[in-house]
Structure 1
Amino acid sequence: MGIDIAVRAPHQASLADDRGELIWSGHRFRTTATDLDHLWERLPAGSDPAQVTVVMEPTRNAWVPLAAWFRRKGATVVLVSAERSADLRAYYAKHTKSDRLDSVLLARLPMLHPEGLHPERGLGPGDPLRRATKLHSTLVKRRTTSLARLDALLEILGPDWHTALSGDLANTTPLRFLAAGYADPHTVKRVGRSRLVRFFHRHSRGAWGEPEADAIMTAAKATRQLWEDELDFADLAEDIAVEARLALTLTQEIKELDERIAILVTERDPAGIITSAPGVGAVTSAVILGRLGDIDRFTSLAGIRSFSGLVPSLDASGVSDRHGGPTKRGDALLREALFNSANQARRYDPTLAAKYHRLMVETGKHHNSALCHIATTLLTRIASCWKNQTPYELRDVDGRPVDRTEARAIINDRYQVPQHLRRARTTTTPNGTGRRSKESPSAPSPARQPQR
């Protein structure tokens, strides 16, 4: 059964037999129990639910309740990427696009490309850990944006404010100070040093006190002398307070979300197998578990590496064989977590450090390219540990088990990349206009002077 899923309009379903012959097509229905029961009744009499394969595209989140319903009925649910189904439609009907045609092509796909069908057993976006990790990433990025905006607004007051707040706006103490409207230099003068000391002491639990209050008083005085009466301090302080309150709210939401994620990870991985891998912390392990899904659904470790999108693309024809950059076909959040973990893991695992050293020094790889190789290796080992339910074990290149202290000593002694080589392999040539050359690459050439 092929289903073309719509978000607002009715879905369309078509049914084909094991030879690809259509039994019926163009059945319209919505995501309701009544419509789904009516659709299921249209199956041929005596059909075995285990022999029914439902093929659909993962259209936004509308596919999640449909997939769950069909799985409860005993059918096998297969998801096909929109790009693959579009390529198939272009092959059969290049100049025609309709919901009915899409459902017919999806219904016939099991006969056309059976080896490319992989059953979907999870809940996708319905999985709580998957949702939580995505929300965590979104909130962290929003807080980063808010803090950057806050830092930019403080620059209007002058450079002394950044120093007075210790340059750490992610700390809740300066955020509470700014949220209270104290970014107004006149307000700071009116409040006075003593009240500022009490404010800092109370909100920082004693970590901040007189030195910070003196720095704020000095910064406020410098701002008044710099601007005099030209700038509306009260209006700017209100804008800063809004950003500070937003950052405080996001910080609290992230803290509560971290606690919920920790509980979910403990339920999924009580033995701590994922976190036993080097470079994988609490947040990263949650991302790997949530975004990778059921690891057992992959038939091979190569399939897991391909799912990450970190493997290089291949363009081969005849005697030509060229590898490109990462395919980036998998989950972006999973790819980001693996990349960051790989950068830490190479500092603790001698085998990964040796591979990174070889890629950088001997092969001539760029730092990011080398980390992509390390990330796929790390993912393969994590998946193997999960399948075998054994923790990650650090080993030397000869296979001898080592502890973390000995591993760090081995890496520092053998696999340090020279700094000049690291700088050359870390930086990239910018495509835009540099500071020294203000001429745009597409600027017209200067006119030549006529020869005399």
Structure 2
Amino acid sequence: MDSHALKILLVARAQLVAQRQTMANTIRGILKTYGLRIVRCSGGLFAPRVRDAIGENDVLMAVIEPLLIAWQALREQVAVLDTRVNARAKSDATVQRLMSVPGVGVIVALAFSATIDDPDRFKRSSSVGAYVGLTPRRYQSGEEDRVGRISRCGDALLRSYLFEAANVLLSRHPRECALKTWGLVMAKRIGMRRAKVAVARKIAVLLHTLWRNGDVFNWGNKADCAGALPAVA
């Protein structure tokens, strides 16, 4: 599977995931008007909990059941594409190395691989942050020099995945590493959201470095996080 075909696969999966979430939100919204709330749960428990909450309200069930069927169909098709995605990741040594970075899973690694395609396109790994739109704009004039919001250039899907990888690393990853420590220090300085953007950019740069050098993430290597990144708005 070439990079173009892989990107199409990932975009298709992202669309199905988004539609599945939209359907679930629609169901939750309708139930809320009846005073019914469904607590957050794994996908396999969602439909049974919805049906249990509705109980014997046949009028409401007649509305919700078709939505549940559509939601389940979307869930099944996501699983079909996930099988293809996982098979692709297992067969790609580069993707396996990229997944050694904390917070980076199958989807992030594949999206990065498909978008960058050839690491030799970039002479410097630091250029990758700008390519995916994670570097801040700079505004300069005779009297002013300030850093603005990130450019949001490049592939929006990859950028969102890198941000989620940063979120996982800073918020949910159990193991400590220099990259996480650096991100948490940044969070105290500039706020958590802006720190996640900075860490996402750092992850992009790190992924390119590992890919180009054929290395895996070194948990004890403080050099992975050396150097301050500019604050982002």
Q: TM-score range by the shorter chain?
A: 0.7 to 0.9
Aligned residue number for residue 47 of structure 2:
175
Write the mapping of 1:77-96 to structure 2, written as runs, cut at 5 A: none
Write the mapping of 1:49-448 to structure 2, written as runs, cut at 5 A: 127-159=4-36, 162=37, 168=41, 170-171=43-44, 175=47, 216=52, 220=55, 233-234=58-59, 236-269=60-93, 272-318=96-142, 320-346=144-170, 347=173, 348-361=175-188, 364-395=189-220, 397=222
- CA displacement, residues 265-322 of structure 1 (integer Å, 9 cap, x when unaligned): 2333367111111111122222222233322222221321111101011122345321
CA distance in 2, matches of 1:286, 1:398: 25
SS of 2:129 mapped into structure 1: helix
* TM-aligned CA distance change 1:344 to 1:167, over 3 Å: closer
> 1:275 touches 1:285 (CA, 8 Å); kept in 2?
yes
SS of 1:273 mapped into structure 2: helix
Bigger proportion of residues as helix:
2
Q: Which amino acid aligns with 1:375?
A: A
> 1:176 touches 1:244 (CA, 8 Å); kept in 2?
no
1:378, CA displacement in angstroms? 1.5
CA distance in 2, matches of 1:136, 1:256: 9
* TM-aligned CA distance change 1:375 to 1:271, over 3 Å: closer
Larger RCO, structures 1/2 (Cα 8 Å, 6+ apart): 2
Task: Give the TM-score taking structure 1 as reference length.
Answer: 0.44
> 1:291 touches 1:333 (CA, 8 Å); kept in 2?
no
- CA displacement, residues 133-171 of structure 1 (integer Å, 9 cap, x when unaligned): 111111111101100111122234443xx46xx653732
> 1:360 touches 1:370 (CA, 8 Å); kept in 2?
yes
Structure 2 alignment gaps of length 5 or more: 225-233
SS of 2:55 mapped into structure 1: helix
Q: Which amino acid aligns with 1:391?
A: V
Structure 1 alignment gaps of length 5 or more: 1-122, 184-215, 224-232, 400-452
* TM-aligned CA distance change 1:350 to 1:253, over 3 Å: same
CA distance in 1, matches of 2:40, 2:177: 36
* TM-aligned CA distance change 1:313 to 1:398, over 3 Å: closer
1:177, CA displacement in angstroms? 8.5
* TM-aligned CA distance change 1:337 to 1:167, over 3 Å: closer
Aligned length: 220
- CA displacement, residues 411-432 of structure 1 (integer Å, 9 cap, x when unaligned): xxxxxxxxxxxxxxxxxxxxxx
> 2:13 touches 2:81 (CA, 8 Å); kept in 1?
yes
Q: Percent identity?
A: 20
CA distance in 1, matches of 2:75, 2:109: 21
* TM-aligned CA distance change 1:325 to 1:247, over 3 Å: same
Write the mapping of 1:14-25 to structure 2, written as runs, cut at 5 A: none
> 1:311 touches 1:326 (CA, 8 Å); kept in 2?
yes
> 2:94 touches 2:211 (CA, 8 Å); kept in 1?
no
